[in-house]
Amino acid sequence: MKAAANPRPGFSASPRAVNAAAIVIVGGAGFIGSNLADHYLSQGRKVIVLDNLSRPGVIDNLRWLQGRHGDLVRPIVEDIRDPVAIRSAFENACAVYHFAAQTAVTTSLAKPREDFEINALGTVNVLETVREVAPEAPVIFASTNKVYGNLTELELQQIGDRYMPLDQATSRSGIGEDQKLDFCTPYGCSKGVADQYVLDYSKSYGLRTAVLRMSCIYGPRQFGTEDQGWVAHFLIRALRGELISVYGDGRQVRDVLHVSDAVTAYSTLLEKIDLAQGRAYNLGGGPENAVSIQIVLREIEALTGKSLQVEYGDWRAGDQLYFVADTRRIQHALGWAAKVGWRDGLRNLHDWLVDSDIVRLAGARQRVSA
């Protein structure tokens, strides 16, 4: 999330007063944020979308929300690194979701100070602002499985096209919240710091905070890149007939979760915040939706009907060979469970991409070049 020097045309340049209480979604024009905003707006709720609109595609997400919901959407184009600029966005908040972040490990390695200022300091700015102007508003933070480090102590075996834990309990259920925190890479450190600050503001100040440590979320309105959002990125590249780069051997395993299930988890957590206050929950597709990169590539090949061009490169810093979330804590606490199987979810994302300008515009450019 980079500072926006000039506000985008058509959007508010600074926070404006909102008479009625609203849900504030920080990073609300992003992938998960815009889907969550649509969920609440469809119920007639007022939503403040606080975003600096620095990521590619997020302006389209905001325009999509405004086209669907009109004045219920209150866009505020500001950066969370500026506590003065964001202050009035929270003055009438009834709840706060915090998704805004620098999300790429590669960027954090190249620009660790910027990564820290956005993810760690930016989160403290959000927490302090809520504490000062809306202390009754719950704050729910989007954390990451990277707070557990690269999990090098996890003993793995290679089974065909995937890595699997030797420990049978981990193989059956995944990795739980009792896994020790072990921040790795500047990104892991900055998100881990933010994760812990959010939890501590419940202990130290009594704010109703909670954390979801996410595995791989995918689905419509995701403009994936090589550094973040790999499922959408692979599909976009495949549909465009472009080369797909895989770092490592493609046997690394993740539990993928469709964004509709993620939205349900976030909204349910808010409903039950008094039970969940001060807790962190792992959020992912669980063992039922655990797939390797190689498996996903084969499914994409079947969906697109195209032979994929794939190149393999060196492993990247901090990459986990295996992460599957043990979701039993969130299931027991909130009654939540993933509903969308990964193949159906991938097909849903494929169909959305086919119908979107992402692929059509790329195809037009290719035809002109030819």
Of 17, 85, 27, the closest CA to residue 58 belongs to: 27
Q: In whole angstroms, what is the distance from residue 82 CA to residue 368 CA?
A: 43
The yes-or-no answer on residue 312 being catalytic is no
With 0-12 / 13-18 / 19 or more C-beta atoms within 10 angstroms meaning exposed / middle / buried, residue 93 is: buried
DSSP 206-253: ---EEEEEE-EEE-TT----SSS-HHHHHHHHHHHT--EEEES-S--E
Query: How many CB atoms neighbour CB 106 within 10 A?
Result: 17
CA-derived radius of gyration, the chain: 20
* Candidate list 97, 187, 247, 322, residue with the active-site label: 187
Query: How many CB atoms neighbour CB 250 within 10 A?
Result: 17
Three-state DSSP at 47 gives strand
DSSP 299-351: HHHHHHTS---EEEEPPPTT--SEE-B--HHHHHHH-----S-HHHHHHHHHH
Q: In whole angstroms, what is the distance from residue 176 CA to residue 108 CA?
A: 26
207-232: buried (b, 16+ CB within 10 Å) or exposed (e) per residue? bbbbbbbbbbbbbbbbbbbeebbbbb
Known catalytic residues are 187
